[in-house]
Amino acid sequence: MPLVPLSQREVTIGVPLPFSVYTADGRLLMARGHIVHSAEQCERLFAQGPFRQPFPGERRDDAAPEDGDTTPASAGRARRGHEDQTLVGPFPVSGCIPEDFVITLANGPAVSSRTRFVGALDDVSLLLAGAGVDPAFAPGEAVEGQFIAGRYRHAFESEVIGRHATPFDVLYLRYPTEVRSRALRRHVRVGIDVTARLSQNDRPMAGTEVRAVDLSAAGVGLLVNSNANSLAPGEHFKLSLPLTRAGRVRTAPLNCIARNRRTKDGETLVGAEFGNTSGDVRALVKEYVLDVLTGAVPPERQA
């Protein structure tokens, strides 16, 4: 039977499927009427490269031939498509515990606070630790929330409905009607603009100062002088990268390997992979990436 790749836009969490879902070779994965209950279940589905039968009169160039075996390539495309799409569903009440919880006032001054998820009263309220949360988060204030759970970054809109200081400081948010979830890639990359310093064999390199323009737990993108011959692919170097967390600047000493180099509009971008780096430094980089991702720190330029 002819099949076409399934798009995540055709799958709504919590709503019965209006069609059956198959693998590329026609094996049934989910029958019509099946309900995908969570983002994690949706991820597992798309990891198998899902297909459906064409709708009457539907013509698509990406239809799989009836006798073709395109499972590996189709599964890869499905995984990439899944990572690039936003899922909409209920608040995740099972599975991974929400971490790196950040709330921001939706109106007025841009006030954000990092907090800790305490629990949830289903369909009623989310409970967050109030210690350290800005007093501006008062009852009646509209808020936007973000957090990480498993391989997903989640975002939602809500309202502060209460705040109690005794016996514990607890913030109550109205239970969100929906949560937007986006799969994080293996090493999520964030845009930054930080001045860093290069060295090699403990000596400054030509064009010592560079701009770090993106960062992940596995590597960094650097803007360098296009006239410099340093940082050729395969070259090893050290990078001193200052990162600000909780108002404190810590310099991450990173052993790097240049992997690629390209020039555009007079600027040269070097992509580098982290080499043998201590666990503490890797943890600092990972935490900083999560801070930028969740809005705890803005990705503005740092000297």
**What is the CATH T-level fold of the domain 189-294, as seen in this structure?**
Thrombin, subunit H (2.40.10)
State both tokens at 77.
């495309």
The pLDDT score that the predictor gives to residue 94 is 61
pLDDT higher than threshold 90 for residue 158: yes
Instruction: Name the more confident of 300 and 247.
Output: 247
Mean pLDDT of 148-160: 85
- Global pTM value: 0.45
Q: What is the full DSSP assignment across 167-190? A: SS-EEEEEPPS-EEEEEPPTT--E
pLDDT higher than threshold 60 for residue 84: no
pLDDT higher than threshold 80 for residue 246: no
CATH number belonging to the domain at 87-183, selected among 3.10.129.10, 3.30.160.110, 2.30.110.10, 3.60.10.10: 2.30.110.10
Per-residue pLDDT reduced to its tens digit, 26-56: 889 999 888 888 777 887 888 788 888 887 6
Distance CA 23, CA 5 (A): 9
Listed by start position, the domains of the chain span 4-50, 87-183, 189-294
Per-residue pLDDT reduced to its tens digit, 107-151: 888 788 989 999 999 889 999 999 989 999 999 999 999 988 766
Q: How many CB atoms neighbour CB 133 within 10 A? A: 21
Per-residue pLDDT reduced to its tens digit, 210-225: 899 989 888 999 988 7
State both tokens at 289.
């990436």
The pLDDT score that the predictor gives to residue 300 is 47
